[in-house]
Amino acid sequence: MQKSKPKYLFAGLGTMGFPMAGHLSKNPNLDLYVFNRTSSVSAKWVKRYSGTQLISLNPCSVKFDGVITCLKDDASISSVLLKSGLLESIKAKAFIVDHSTTSLNLVSTISHYPDILDKKISFFDAPVSGGEVGAINGLLSIMLGGPKTKLSKVKLVLEAYSKSITHIGPSGHGQLTKMVNQLCIASLVQGLSEAIALGQKSNLNMDKVLKAISGGAAQSWQMDNRFKTMSAGDFDFGFAVNLMIKDLKIALKHSQSLDLDFDSSKLILKKYNQLSKSGHGSLDTSSLIKLLHK
C-alpha cells in the first residue's frame, strides 16, 4: 500500500507568505493546505498554485504533520495558533514553524503552551531576512531557534524557499537574531538615505556614484537593492514601514532589559513613526529618505 504524503498547513499569505507557500507547493512529496484570515487571498493563491484552501481552522478535519505560519504580529500568531482550535488538528510529535517577527514573550508562551507540550509538538521561531524579493525568488535567509534534534524534518520544508538555514540555538534565539538583523538594517537604511541625499543635492550622477562605491567597503544588500529605487523615489513595494516600527520596538524593548541604550536606533524609530503618521506606513522602509527631501 502506498504511503500517504505528509500534510502541512501554511497560514498567512501576505507579502512574504504568499510566494513562500507557492514554493512549498511545488514539492510533490507533500500535501499543502493554506489559510488566510482574508479568504479572498487564499482563494487567489489556490488559483495560482497547487494546494487546498481552508476557510476556517475550526472545525478542521485534516490532521497536520506540520504547520508553518507567517503573520504580522503577536496578536495574529496567538489568534491563529492558540485560539482558533488549530492545535486539535496538529498531530502528536508534529512541528510548528513561525516565520513571523514576534516578542520573546510570545515565543515562551507558545513553547510552554500545555497542548503543545502534551502532544510533544516541536516549536521553532524562524524569522526570515531577504524581503519580498527573497521570498519571490525562494532565497530567504532563515534564523532558527528551537530543538536541534528535530531540525531534519523542518529543513525539508524550509529549503523550499531559502538559500540559508542557520540554527542559532534554543527557542527564542531566532527572534533574538532577527532583532540584531533589524537594528543593522535600520542603521544601513538611514546611512544610505543620507548618502543619497548628499549626492543628489550635490548634483552628482547617481548611477556613476553607485558604480564607484558599490564594489568597496560601503557595499551592502540595501545598496545593491535599494540605491536605485531610493534615488528614483520608488517605495511602493517591499518591507513596510509599519512592520519595521513593530520590529524596532521589540528590539529596543529587549535592549532596555539588558541595560543597553541605543540612541541612534531610537532616533530612526522616531523617524519611521513620523513617516507612518504622515500616511506612509505601507511604503518600503527605504522611504526613510523622504524625510530628507523636505
Cβ contact 235:193 at 8 Å = no
Q: Can you state the angle between helices 263-275 and 173-201, rounded to 10 degrees?
A: 70
Query: Does 163 qualify as catalytic in the annotation?
Result: no
Instruction: Please tell me the distance from the alpha carbon of residue 262 to that of residue 166, in angstroms, as a whole number.
Output: 26
Identified catalytic residue from 7, 178, 246, 271: 178
C-beta of residue 232 within 8 angstroms of C-beta of residue 246? no
Sign of CA dihedral 181, 182, 187, 190: positive
Q: How far apart are the first and last CA of the chain?
A: 69
Tell me how far apart the alpha carbons of residues 268 and 190 are, in angstroms, rounded to a whole number: 7
3-state secondary structure of 144: strand
User: How far is the C-alpha of 208 from the C-alpha of 109, rounded, in Å?
Assistant: 51
Type and span of the H or E element at 18: helix 17-25
How far is the C-alpha of 119 from the C-alpha of 86, rounded, in Å? 13
Q: How far is CA 127 from the centre of its chain?
A: 5
User: Within 13 Å of residue 65, how many CA atoms lie on the same side as its CB?
Assistant: 13
The strand pair at 31-35 and 52-54 is best described as parallel
> Which among 231, 244, 279, 9 has a CA at the least distance from the CA of 129?
244
Catalytic residues: 178
